[in-house]
């Protein structure tokens, strides 16, 4: 991914996440991301149309309650089911993805977002993502976060 594109995507991502969650983030180099031993989870969705590919947000499991609580305006302790946490992460991705595509392809681009999926990321896959040129590193309220954008070439 070119540096210009990375900067545009990082700016879009941070702006949208701040508006949606009132959490503040900043880009960090992938080699500065520390993989905490807890499980990491991802929300990933595919998009089709003016551009085709997939976008994923990958976070340590412990960051999910904070994201969900901020989106919903609740206390993290009020979020009692894993479904609520997964749904909130999928929704954050959904909102980010629409804006990322418009950053890539313009506001007039016609595209379709497919249903986001939520899953635990296998440890070896996580290590691969940190080496992947399509990954970008961030901190969100001082917690690590990865954004992974795969675009179909053509």
Partner 1 sequence: MAFNILLVDDSLTVRSVIAKALRLAGVDIGQIYEACHGAEALTVLEREWIDLVFADISMPVMDGEEFVDRLAASGAIEHLPVVIVSSAGSGPRIQRLKDKGVRAYVQKPFTPEQIREVVDKVMGVTSHE
Q: Which residues bind to partner 1, rule: CB under 8 A?
A: 16, 19-20, 49-50, 68, 71-73, 83-84, 87-88, 90-91, 94-99, 101-102, 107-115
| Residues pairing with 99 in the sheet | none
Residue with Cβ nearer partner 1 (8 or 102):
102
Residue with Cβ nearer partner 1 (117 or 132):
117
Give least dist CB 99 to partner 1, A.
7
Give least dist CB 63 to partner 1, A.
16
Give least dist CB 148 to partner 1, A.
18
**Which candidate, 94, 97, 83, 82, places its Cα nearest to that of 12?**
97
Residue with Cβ nearer partner 1 (115 or 133):
115
| Residues pairing with 59 in the sheet | 41
**Do 66 and 23 form a contact (C-beta atoms < 8 A)?**
yes
Give least dist CB 25 to partner 1, A.
15
What b/e sequence results for 99-119 when a residue is b if at least 16 CB atoms lie within 10 Å of its CB, and e otherwise? bbbebbeeeeeebebeebebe
Residue with Cβ nearer partner 1 (56 or 68):
68
The CA angle 24-126-141, to the nearest 5 degrees, is 15
């Amino acid at each position: 991914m070119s540096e210009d594109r990375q900067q545009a995507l990082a700016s879009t991502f941070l702006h949208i996440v701040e508006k949606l969650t009132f959490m503040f983030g900043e880009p960090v180099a992938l080699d500065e991301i520390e993989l905490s031993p807890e499980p990491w989870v991802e929300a990933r969705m595919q998009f089709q149309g003016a551009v085709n590919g997939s976008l994923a947000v990958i976070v340590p499991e412990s960051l999910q309650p904070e994201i969900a609580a901020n989106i919903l305006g609740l206390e993290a302790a009020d979020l009692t089911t894993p479904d609520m946490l997964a749904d909130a992460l999928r929704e954050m991705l959904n909102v980010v993805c629409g804006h990322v595509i418009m950053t890539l392809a313009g506001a007039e681009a016609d595209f379709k977002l497919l249903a986001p999926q939520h899953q635990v990321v296998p440890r070896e896959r996580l290590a691969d993502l940190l080496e992947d040129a399509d990954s970008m590193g961030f901190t969100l309220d001082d917690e690590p976060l990865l954004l992974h954008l795969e675009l179909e070439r053509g």
